[in-house]
């Protein structure tokens, strides 16, 4: 019978396994499959991977449950199988490990960012981690490995959740980038300082970077904690070879750096993405050579200087853009929406932008992948409009297609290009668009992204690092006065304001009673409201918007009116008339409007505006 893990980790160098996903991929399971679901559908295949690692002499194998939480299993239709997948994953590993190899219950990140930046409340995250932990204990694990987590707050939540369920040993492994910090800006030194205060048994790093970079980070970690240390790097950076994603770092190279890590004080060494039984066998050899005489060397980390807050001025709201100034001065503003073209020819939309500018329109708002379709970059089009036409734009920016690193990079780039007005939205799900096989990211929702943009406006990134001169975004958010759950919509609206929103643009309004009910619930509204007006083109257009576009509600009375005229010129005139009626009714309650003409027919928008003359 193997000695208790807590005893051995303090006196021996232990060898962990390598990548489970990589091995399943090499055995013919494509990366779009749910690997954790294989615990139910192909348990023998999972068992085979565990056996491959046990054969090369590992001391520990991890369960195939890394992403077995509801946020990652849900898209595969497996949300109802969470407990079963985790329990059986532990039972499979337990059967292979016997009583000579430890079984570590693998718990990875939730895949969604925690509040306040992200949409997942702390209590919801804690419940998810607890559910996994209970099922893993039921399956017979010896310890837990919380791994590949980049958000320190998420790791702290996971540790607390697991400790409420079990007193089994915990390995806590964060992941850092090649820059030497997590994506939230936490250094190994800070990770060590914070996590050393928690009830964990091993502190370490895994994934994201290769052996050399991991060694550099491990030395900083070792200098800042007395806890046992673990290291499970990737096998270098992946490369695509003949359509297959491969990691080309050799077992010998991994073994060389494993030896260096051990000399630097690592107590548990293994591998992450790209590592195979061949890599782990080589690492096992390095451990055998060093085990009798290794002594942990405490490496002195260079002191990290505190970063002073930038002294650069923050742009006052009214000075951020002409649109912001107009609203601050009480002017009624008008924006008209133009969708980016689906191809490379943007001549028609440029002609439209020039015509609108000549008519005195305040701004053009540009949708970001409307209805989840692939179109020209709205940021590129906004830059063309502002530089070549001279009209301001309101850049729609959605959370669907980018992770938080990409979003922050885009916002910094937009600011450098001189784009100031942004409408921050969550975005339509890709399942409703032209490419239903496309994946959505949704690291954060519109509330979280508004917080990120607010931080940039104050001169700091999401990791609290100064960005130099603060950005100067005039930030808008969306609201749906006709939402089915209006109380939830109002709650989210107030949270958007707390996050830093400076104006709001509503979904199209057709029913004044619904709009006034919404206004009553947000009264007094501390930010300007731009009401959405969408002229209907036909009865078919009305039915499509009502039934197939998220957030759109076309009242039955309006759809009946459009049904009477059908399609063609008469239908378009009726649509303009309905839009004018809505505009007249809403005008006393708002500070501006934006019109969404169907099919980029800007002439329709100008006809709607005639009612204001």
Residue 83 pLDDT > 80: yes
Least confident of 59-63, 285-289, 348-352: 285-289
What is the mean pLDDT of the segment spanning 260-277?
94
Question: Between 129 and 444, where is the model more confident?
Answer: 129
Whether residue 432 has pLDDT greater than 50:
no
In this predicted structure, what is the pLDDT of residue 35? Answer: 92
Asked if residue 444 has pLDDT above 80, the reply is no
d(CA 555, CA 482): 10
User: Does the pTM of the predicted model rise above 0.85?
Assistant: no
Mean pLDDT of 199-223: 94
Q: Spell out where 330-415 has E strands.
A: 333-338, 363-366, 392-398
Higher pLDDT, 74 or 309: 74
Taking residue 98's Cβ as centre, other Cβ atoms within 10 Å add up to: 11
Res 401: pLDDT: 72
State residue 301's pLDDT score.
39
494 pLDDT more than 90 = yes
Q: Is the pLDDT of residue 213 over 50?
A: yes
| Whether residue 88 has pLDDT greater than 80 | yes
Task: Say whether pLDDT at 423 is over 50.
Answer: yes
Provide the b/e sequence for 225-243 (b: ≥16 CB within 10 Å). Answer: bebbbbbbbbbbebeeeee
Checking if the pLDDT of 268 tops 70, the result is yes
User: Structural domain boundaries of the chain?
Assistant: 5-290, 331-536+591-601
The first and second tokens of residue 497, run together, are: 């304001």
pLDDT band at residue 386 under the 50/70/90 scheme: very high
Q: Which of 427, 357, 359 is nearest to 392 (CA)?
A: 357
Q: Three-state SS for 193?
A: helix
Residue 269 pLDDT greater than 70, yes or no = yes
pLDDT digits (tens, 9 = 90+) for 516-529: 999 999 999 999 99
Residue 385 is classified by DSSP as I
Q: Just give the CATH number of 5-290.
A: 3.20.20.330
pLDDT for the residue numbered 201 = 98
Closest CA to 183 of 415, 474, 465, 531: 465
Region 165-193 average pLDDT: 93
Give DSSP secondary structure letters for 477-496.
EEE-TT-SSHHHHHHHHHHH
Give 541-555 pLDDT, tens digit per residue: 998 888 767 667 888
Of 83-87, 213-217, 367-371, 457-461, the range with the highest mean pLDDT is 83-87
Q: What is the mean pLDDT of residues 223-231?
A: 96
- Quote the percentage of the chain above a pLDDT of 70: 90
**Sheet strand arrangement including 202-206:** 14-15, 268-269, 229-232, 202-206, 170-174, 143-149, 102-107, 60-62
Q: Between 448 and 303, where is the model more confident?
A: 448
Q: Which of 116-120, 494-498, 589-593 has the lowest mean pLDDT?
A: 116-120
CB within 8 Å of 507: residues ≥ 6 apart:
478, 479, 480, 481, 482, 532, 551, 552, 553
Evaluate if residue 580 carries a pLDDT over 60: yes
- pLDDT tier for residue 434 given thresholds of 50, 70 and 90: very low
Tell me the per-residue pLDDT of 391-405, one tens digit each, with 9 for 90 and over.
Answer: 999 999 988 777 888
* 81 CB neighbour count, 10 Å cutoff: 18
Average pLDDT rounded to a whole number, residues 371-391: 88
Over the chain, what is the mean pLDDT?
A: 89
Which of 3.30.1330.10, 3.90.1150.200, 3.20.20.220, 3.40.50.300 would CATH assign to domain 331-536+591-601? 3.20.20.220
Q: Which residues of 189-211 are buried (b: 16+ CB within 10 A; e: fewer)?
A: bbbbeebeeeebbbbbbbbbbbb
397 phi/psi in degrees, rounded to 5: -140, 120
What pLDDT, on a 0 to 100 scale, did the predictor assign at position 244? 52
For the chain, report the end-to-end CA distance as a whole number of angstroms: 88
Q: Label residue 433 by pLDDT band (50, 70, 90).
A: very low
Report percent pLDDT > 90 for the chain.
70
């Amino acid at each position: 019978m193997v000695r208790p893990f807590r005893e051995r980790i303090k006196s021996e160098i232990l060898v962990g396994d390598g990548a489970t996903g990589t091995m399943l991929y090499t055995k013919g399971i494509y990366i779009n499959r749910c690997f954790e679901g294989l615990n139910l559908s192909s348990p023998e295949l999972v068992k085979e991977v565990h056996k491959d690692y046990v054969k090369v002499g590992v001391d520990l194998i991890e369960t195939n449950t890394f992403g077995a939480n509801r946020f990652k299993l849900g898209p595969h239709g497996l949300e109802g199988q969470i407990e079963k997948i985790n329990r059986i994953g532990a039972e499979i590993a337990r059967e292979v490990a016997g009583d000579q190899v430890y079984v570590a219950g693998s718990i990875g990140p939730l895949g969604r960012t925690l509040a306040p930046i992200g949409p997942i409340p702390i209590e919801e995250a804690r419940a998810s981690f607890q559910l996994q932990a209970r099922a893993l204990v039921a399956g017979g694990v010896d310890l837990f490995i919380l791994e590949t987590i980049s958000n320190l707050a998420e790791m702290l939540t996971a540790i607390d959740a697991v400790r409420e369920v079990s007193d089994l040993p915990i390995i806590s492994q964060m992941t850092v980038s090649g820059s030497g910090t997590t994506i939230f800006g936490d250094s190994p030194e800070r990770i060590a300082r914070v996590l050393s205060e928690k009830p964990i048994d091993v502190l370490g790093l895994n994934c994201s970077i290769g052996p050399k970079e991991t060694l550099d980070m491990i030395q900083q970690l070792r200098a800042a904690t007395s806890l046992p240390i673990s290291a499970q790097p990737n096998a270098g950076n992946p490369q695509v070879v003949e359509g297959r994603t491969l990691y080309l770092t050799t077992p010998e190279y991994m073994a060389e750096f494993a030896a260096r890590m051990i000399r630097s004080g690592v107590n548990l060494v293994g591998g992450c993405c790209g590592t195979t039984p061949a890599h782990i066998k080589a690492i096992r050899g390095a451990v055998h050579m060093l085990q009798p005489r290794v002594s942990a060397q405490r490496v002195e980390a260079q002191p990290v200087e505190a970063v002073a807050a930038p002294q650069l001025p923050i742009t006052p709201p009214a000075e951020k853009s002409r649109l912001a100034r107009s609203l601050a001065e009480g002017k009624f503003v008008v924006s008209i929406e133009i969708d980016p073209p689906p191809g490379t020819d943007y001549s028609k939309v440029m002609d439209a932008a020039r015509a609108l500018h000549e008519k005195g329109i305040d701004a053009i708002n540009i949708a970001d992948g409307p209805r989840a379709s692939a179109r020209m970059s709205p940021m590129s089009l906004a830059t063309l409009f502002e530089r070549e036409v001279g009209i301001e734009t309101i850049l729609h920016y959605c959370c669907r297609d980018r992770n938080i690193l990409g979003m922050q990079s885009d916002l910094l780039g937009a600011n450098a290009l001189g784009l100031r007005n942004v409408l921050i939205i969550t975005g339509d799900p890709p399942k409703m668009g032209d490419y239903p096989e496309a994946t959505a990211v949704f690291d954060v929702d519109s509330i979280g992204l508004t917080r990120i943009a607010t931080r940039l406006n104050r001169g700091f990134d999401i990791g609290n690092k100064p960005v130099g001169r603060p950005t100067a975004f005039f930030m808008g958010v969306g609201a749906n006065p006709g939402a089915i759950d209006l109380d939830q919509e109002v709650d989210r609206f107030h949270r958007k304001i707390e996050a830093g929103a400076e104006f709001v643009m509503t979904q199209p309004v057709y029913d004044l009673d619904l709009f006034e009910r919404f206004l009553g619930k947000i009264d007094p509204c501390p930010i300007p409201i731009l009401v959405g007006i969408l002229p209907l083109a036909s009865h078919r257009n009305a039915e499509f918007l009502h039934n197939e576009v998220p957030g759109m509600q076309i009242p039955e009375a309006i759809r009946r009116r459009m049904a009477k005229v059908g399609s063609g010129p008469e239908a378009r005139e009726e649509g303009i008339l309905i839009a004018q009626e809505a505009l007249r009714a809403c005008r006393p309650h708002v500070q501006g409007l934006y019109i969404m003409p169907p099919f980029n027919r800007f002439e329709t928008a100008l006809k709607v505006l005639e009612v204001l003359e």
